[in-house]
Amino acid sequence: MTRMQIQGMTCEGCAASVADALAGAGATLPRVDLDAGEARFDAPGVAPEVLRAAVEAAGYRVVAIDDAVSPGRGPLHRRGPSRPSAPDLLVMGSGGAAFAAAIRARDLGAEVAMCEAATIGGTCVNIGCVPSKALLAAAGVRQVAAHHPFPGIATSAGPVDLAALVAGKDELVDRLRFEKYEHLAEEYGFTLLCGRGSFTAADRFVCDGEEMAAGQFLLATGASPAVPPVPGLAEAGYLTSTTAFELRELPSSLVVIGANAIGLEVGQLFSELGTSVTFVEAAGRIAPLDEPEISAALGDVLRRQGAQVHTSATVTGVSRRGARRAVTFSAGGSELEVEADQVLVATGRRPNTAGLGLQAAGVALGARGEVVVDEFCSTSNPRIWAAGDVTGAPQFVYVAAAQGALAADNAIGKLGRSLDWTGLPRVTFTTPQIASVGPTEEEASRAGHRVETRVLALDAVPRALVERDTAGLCKIVAEEGSGRVLGVHLLAKGAGEVILAATYAIKAKMTVTQLAETWAPYLTMAEALKLTAQTFTRDVSRLSCCAA
């Protein structure tokens, strides 16, 4: 008898999916134990790789396969949680918004059930924030080893074993998914239902073939990569931010279609691992939602690292040439073509609303397919709420979690809460990082503010000087007259850490004078905020290194 240890099973439906996958691969009478996280079966003549591939194709991770084990405890069983006939809150999805809502609802004493069509945990832990930042950290280590500015230190960077790197990422993802999702579901006592779900009426939902009623419903189904209708793209094959993190061999070359946050992060990740990268962006500059000074400075960094950057570009086709792809695009009045091993599509994400029966439920959608919600996260159906990426809100997991908790407060607690969006920060984890809070200069002007701005290059910041890396800048957007800080925008190493101080400054309605007079520890990147604020009234190049 063969035993297979499996991670990612969370409910009866998962166990059934694993059993079906094994049977389809040639296993005889597979018996799956949800509690033990394993399956036992006979599979004479079937290669372990075939069985592993079948289970992993079903969405689960095979940890080990052991041959010739004892039948052990006797017949294994499939176990599912008890299903409340009508929970107080039925959640669609199991990511950041879904879990925040479920936890808050349980805190309020509600019975909660959750319907998940794929892997528990949603985007962030499985295919988004956690895996991308883990791989970015690894790529950053290699980049420093290959190119550092310090005399007298000899380092080198050898070939990258991408399969080992991705396996390490998978181990981290598996552990965090168990600790922060699977274990918490059990600890808080809400029911996990595995299967695709859809509404059949305004107050009826079917999950895994079972019709359920509920007191309130929450849509938290997230978003998925949006793929543009480029001729030949589907036939040639392409990567998304999801599939790029599953590669086992490092491509020698990569074309990235789209150079906003996701495209920049993933593209630079591969560049730092040793891939030749070309960015193709439709807008007039990379990072088009950021300040133009940041776009220009980051573009210089990418080019110094060896990347090609094309802006104001329209992709006209993708074709397959043997094992490679050719991307054609128009830019600057010319038709250009770039060949590469792989093509990454990073042109945004689309809310996951298809197939949910929202028309039958009377839930209105917006122009981009997003669920339309009011400030309370309520939809056009008063018993259905929505939170996270599916609403078209800023696609950050902390926004999804905040909306999820808010929706539960309002659906279960009837609290009538809304969110204060003032000082919402965002970070793009490039090298150096982009971090912003508040409006850009253009956005503030469009909103009717008379603004005054200052830009400080990092060669005026002592921390950047001692690290011998002055690529970047800090920009402050202030209200003319009052000096109130409206926006802060950074391109710097550790900018994501610095931006929290700027967030507090904006929430507290501080002025540039107050920011300039606030204590700032010397030889930290956060000192850039103080120095930039000082430039509103003086030339900081004429200060000594630690002058107040």
Active site residues: 9, 11, 14, 60, 124, 129, 545-546
Contact present, 178 and 7 (Cβ < 8 Å): yes
Distance CA 27, CA 45 (A): 10
Kindly give the interhelix angle for 261-273 and 292-304, rounded to the nearest 10 degrees. 20
Dihedral sign, Cα of residue 92, residue 95, residue 97, residue 103: positive
Starting at the edge strand that comes first in sequence, how are the strands of the sheet with 28-33 ordered?
Answer: 28-33, 38-42, 2-7, 61-66
HSE-up of 278 (CA within 13 Å, CB side)? 21
Q: Note the residue count of the chain.
A: 548
Distance CA 227, CA 241 (A): 11
Distance CA 410, CA 403 (A): 10
Q: Which residue, 50, 45, 60, 62, is CA-closest to 24?
A: 50
SS3 2: strand
Q: How many CB atoms lie within 10 A of CB 146?
A: 14
Strand partners, 378: 385
HSE-up of 56 (CA within 13 Å, CB side)? 13
Q: Who contacts 416 (Cβ-Cβ below 8 Å, separation ≥6)? A: 376, 410
Q: Who contacts 516 (Cβ-Cβ below 8 Å, separation ≥6)? A: 530, 533, 534, 536, 537
Residue 427 corresponds to which tokens in the numbers above? Answer: 């970070």
Specify whether the backbone of 288 is left (phi greater than 0), alpha (psi in -120 to 50) or beta: alpha
Tell me the H-state helices in 147-177.
Answer: 162-177
HSE-up of 62 (CA within 13 Å, CB side)? 21
Distance of CA 481 to the CA centre of its chain: 39
State the virtual CA torsion across 21, 176, 220, 100 in degrees, nearest 10: 140
